C-alpha cells in the first residue's frame, strides 16, 4: 500500500514537472516571437554630403502622431543624413528625447512654448556645434500664435572649413480668409493674415537691426504662400528688399502644385506651399553658385504612400537647402 502511494506521488511530481517545463517553453517562445505588427520603415535616399551643408525644415505634425511615429521619424532623419533638421510641432518632449537617445551622432535643442507645439533643432554633432540659442519676441508672441521663434547660432566644420549660421525656426499662425484686415474684430483680436504680416515685419526688423553681418536662414512653417499679389502677401517686408533677402524655395512656390510642401491629403483644402527657407544676402553667393533646394516627397518611400505617411508621420513634406560653404 505504501509503495502504491509513493508511486502515485512520483507520478504526480513528474506530471507537475512536465507541465512546468511546457509552460516555461511556451513563455520563452512567446517572448522570442517577433512582433509582425511593426510596420516596415522607409528606406531613404541620403541627401548628406560631407563637403556641403544640408538643412531640412519639417513640420512633423503633433509629434508623435501615431504609435510608430518615433520609429518612422528616426528612420527618416538617419536615412536623409542631413546636418541640421529644423522642426516644428514637437508635442511630446519625452518621446522626442527618447528617440534622440537612440540616434548616434545626433544632438538636439528643444524650445517649449505655452501651447505645447514646440520648436526644435536636431544637428549632426560630427559637423555641427550649437554656440547659443535665443527665444525671440516673447512679449509679442501673439503674432506667432504663442510659438515664439527659436534663434540658433551654430557652427559647421569639416576639412578645415568653418561656416557660422544663424537659424531662426518659425511657426506662423495658421488659417484665415486670404485677406489682410488691419482692424481688430469685435473682440479686439487681429485676423490671421495680419498676424503673419506682423510676424514677418518683426523678424525682418530684428535681422536688420541685429544680424546684418550674419549668415541668416529663416526656416519653418510660415502657413502662407509666398507667391501672392501684394494686397494679400504677408511677406512683402522681405520681397520688397530683393538685394537683402531671398526665398530659396521661390522656384518651388511658383512651380507645379504637385511639388509643394503641403498637399492636403486628409483635408478639404487644396495643396499650398507653406514651408519656406528665407536667406539674407550674406548667403546669396552660396545660393547662386552651388545650392540645391527641393521638397522631399516622403510619401514615395512608404509602402502605402501618402495615406501611410499622413496617418503616421505628418501632413507636411520637408523642404531642404544644400550648399557648399
The model's pLDDT over 207-220, given as tens digits with 9 standing for 90+, comes to 999 999 999 999 99
| CA-closest candidate to residue 176, choices 203, 202, 197 | 197
Single pTM value for the model: 0.88
| CA-closest candidate to residue 276, choices 216, 230, 223 | 223
CATH of the domain at 279: 3.60.10.10
Question: Do residues 83 and 124 touch, judged by C-beta distance below 8 A?
Answer: yes
Summarize the confidence of residues 234-251 as an average pLDDT: 98
Higher pLDDT, 13 or 212: 212
Q: What size, in residues, is the chain? A: 325
User: Which residue reads 561656416 in cell numbers?
Assistant: 163
Is 296 among the domain residues?
Answer: yes
Summarize the confidence of residues 219-233 as an average pLDDT: 97
Nine-digit cell string for 240: 520688397
Question: Do residues 173 and 144 touch, judged by C-beta distance below 8 A?
Answer: yes
Lowest mean pLDDT among 102-116, 153-167, 174-188: 174-188
Is 25 among the domain residues?
Answer: no
| CA-closest candidate to residue 166, choices 130, 121, 214 | 214
pLDDT at 151: 98
Domain of 316?
A: 53-323
Edge-to-edge strands, sheet with 292-295: 106-111, 118-124, 84-90, 53-63, 319-323, 292-295
Q: How many domains does the chain have?
A: 1
- Separation of alpha carbons 209 and 36, rounded Å: 56
* Cβ count within 10 A of residue 14: 10
Is 31 among the domain residues?
Answer: no
143 falls in which pLDDT band (50, 70, 90)?
Answer: very high
* C-alpha pair distances (Å), 325 with each of 290, 313, 318: 9, 31, 22
pLDDT at 179: 93
Summarize the confidence of residues 9-26 as an average pLDDT: 45
Cis bond leading into 29, ω under 30°? no
Is 35 among the domain residues?
Answer: no
* pLDDT beyond 80 at 186: no
Sorted by sequence, the CB contacts under 8 Å of residue 268 that are 6+ apart come out as none
Question: Do residues 147 and 309 touch, judged by C-beta distance below 8 A?
Answer: no
Is 166 among the domain residues?
Answer: yes
Beta strands in the chain (DSSP E): 53-63, 84-90, 106-111, 118-124, 128-135, 150-158, 161-171, 216-221, 245-247, 275-280, 292-295, 319-323
14 falls in which pLDDT band (50, 70, 90)?
Answer: very low
pLDDT above 70 covers a percentage of the chain that reads 89
- Separation of alpha carbons 92 and 116, rounded Å: 8
32 alpha carbon, distance to own chain's centre: 35
* pLDDT beyond 90 at 17: no
Is 23 among the domain residues?
Answer: no
Lowest mean pLDDT among 27-36, 77-86, 143-152: 27-36
18 falls in which pLDDT band (50, 70, 90)?
Answer: very low
- Separation of alpha carbons 116 and 233, rounded Å: 28
- Separation of alpha carbons 305 and 182, rounded Å: 42
Is 46 among the domain residues?
Answer: no
Nine-digit cell string for 206: 530684428
Nine-digit cell string for 152: 540658433
Lowest mean pLDDT among 175-179, 183-187, 247-251, 319-323: 183-187
Is 13 among the domain residues?
Answer: no
pLDDT at 188: 77
H or E element, residue 250:
helix 250-253
* pLDDT beyond 80 at 107: yes
Strands 128-135 and 150-158: antiparallel
Question: Do residues 264 and 211 touch, judged by C-beta distance below 8 A?
Answer: no
What is the per-residue pLDDT across 163-182, written as a single tens digit (0 to 9) for each?
A: 999 999 999 999 999 999 99
Amino acid at each position: 500500500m505504501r509503495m502504491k502511494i509513493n508511486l502515485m506521488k512520483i507520478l504526480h511530481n513528474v506530471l507537475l514537472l512536465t507541465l512546468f517545463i511546457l509552460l516555461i517553453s511556451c513563455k520563452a517562445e512567446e517572448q522570442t516571437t517577433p512582433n509582425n505588427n511593426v510596420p516596415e520603415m522607409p528606406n531613404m535616399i541620403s541627401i548628406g554630403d560631407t563637403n556641403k551643408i544640408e538643412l531640412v525644415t519639417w513640420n512633423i505634425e503633433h509629434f508623435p502622431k501615431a504609435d510608430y511615429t518615433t520609429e518612422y521619424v528616426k528612420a527618416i532623419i538617419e536615412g536623409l543624413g542631413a546636418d541640421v533638421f529644423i522642426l516644428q510641432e514637437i508635442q511630446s518632449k519625452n518621446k522626442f528625447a527618447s528617440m534622440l537617445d537612440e540616434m548616434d551622432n545626433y544632438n538636439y535643442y528643444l524650445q517649449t512654448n505655452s501651447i505645447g507645439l514646440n520648436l526644435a533643432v536636431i544637428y549632426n554633432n560630427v559637423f555641427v556645434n550649437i554656440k547659443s540659442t535665443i527665444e525671440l519676441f516673447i512679449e509679442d508672441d501673439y503674432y506667432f500664435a504663442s510659438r515664439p521663434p527659436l534663434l540658433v547660432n551654430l557652427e559647421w566644420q569639416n576639412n578645415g572649413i568653418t561656416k557660422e549660421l544663424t537659424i531662426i525656426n518659425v511657426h506662423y499662425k495658421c488659417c484665415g480668409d486670404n485677406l489682410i484686415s488691419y482692424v481688430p474684430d469685435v473682440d479686439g483680436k487681429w485676423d490671421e493674415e495680419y498676424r503673419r504680416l506682423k510676424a514677418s515685419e518683426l523678424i525682418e526688423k530684428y535681422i536688420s537691426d541685429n544680424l546684418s553681418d550674419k549668415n541668416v536662414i529663416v526656416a519653418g512653417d510660415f502657413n502662407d504662400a509666398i507667391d501672392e499679389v501684394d494686397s494679400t502677401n504677408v511677406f512683402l517686408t522681405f520681397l520688397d528688399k530683393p538685394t537683402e533677402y531671398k526665398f530659396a524655395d521661390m522656384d518651388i512656390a511658383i512651380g507645379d502644385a504637385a511639388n509643394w510642401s503641403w498637399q492636403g491629403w486628409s483635408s478639404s483644402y487644396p495643396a499650398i506651399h507653406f514651408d519656406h527657407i528665407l536667406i539674407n544676402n550674406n548667403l546669396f553667393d552660396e545660393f547662386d553658385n552651388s545650392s540645391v533646394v527641393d521638397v522631399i516627397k516622403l510619401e514615395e518611400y512608404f509602402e502605402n504612400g501618402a495615406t501611410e505617411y499622413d496617418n503616421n508621420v505628418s501632413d507636411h513634406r520637408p523642404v531642404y537647402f544644400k550648399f557648399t560653404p
